[in-house]
Amino acid sequence: MTKKTVKPRKKGLKGRDFLSVDDFSPAEIRSVLVLARDMKAHPRKYRAALEGAMMALIFEKPSLRTRTTFTVGIKQLGGDALLLTPADINLGKRESVYDVAKNLERMVDGIMIRTFGHDICTSLAAHAAIPVINGLTDLEHPCQAMADFMTIIECRKNLAKAKIAYVGDGNNVAHSLLLMAGKLGATLFVGTPEKYKPDQNVMDRAVALARENGGTIVWTSSPVEAVHNADVVYTDTWASMGQEAEAEQRREEFNSYQVNRGLFSHAHGDALFMHCLPAHRGWEVTDEIMDSKNSVVFQEAENRLHAQKAIMVGLLKG
């Protein structure tokens, strides 16, 4: 039987994992966001923050933003990255997750993993004595949510007064947005078809967090209700990686959730449009909205770099 690695639970972020938004307290999330914004404003100040550190980047899924931002990010902090693809390790098949964890903990300082099953991510973290960061699983996308709320704060300043609307599939991105809104006391309306609601356990946890922190979490099947008077309108692909065979069926079922001029008109005139990318133009969003003055999708994408740099510094340095 493989032995679980017990990571010390102590004050501060050093040595901990970031597998879920729920791994960080509201105060810790805010501190990471403050650090990320300072890193964005003063990058030279941090160019040796992780000097000599090595991150292993495990990719079981294709990536543009995650691969680029983690690779560039660790290098900008004075460290380096090692890319590992299925051809290199083939987690759980060529080599067990346990064995990969026990090897890497002796060779690198931290691990980022982008994979399918969330259990793979949690298992890797359970067995590795070094920090593990969730770069995306089927359950959550916590680094994306950190960048999203960094962007909202940059553009809106006051989360307590902003209504955020998410419309589309109740997927991993929706889950992390729900938990982040709950942690930070924000108002989030999630509009999805009944069949594609977010995971109920995540919803229940987000509602409980919102109650603790002065926020509001609402699910509705009406995209118009979700977007009504919103300050932020967020959407994502209707068919995530691994769901390509369902794409045409989902397109029909999600048709009324497309963020177009008609739906967006129910939000405030200066509402932000957000998307974690990649976007399927003409499906979940039209070009007219994607390329509008309201769109901050590329600012949001850039903020993945700064948010993840702050996360790495927190977990590796403290």
Query: Which residues does the annotation mark as catalytic?
Result: 114, 141, 144, 236, 276, 304
Residue type, 78: G
Q: Are 232 and 272 in contact (CB under 8 A)?
A: yes
The whole-angstrom separation of Cα 260 and Cα 240 is 20
CB atoms within 10 A of CB 78: 14
Are 56 and 108 in contact, with CB atoms under 8 Å apart? Answer: yes
Q: Are 130 and 136 spatial neighbours (Cβ–Cβ below 8 Å)?
A: no
Residues 133/209, Cβ–Cβ less than 8 Å: no
CB 115 within 8 A of CB 299: no
Give 275's strand partners. 235
The closest alpha carbon to 97, from 126, 136, 70, belongs to: 126
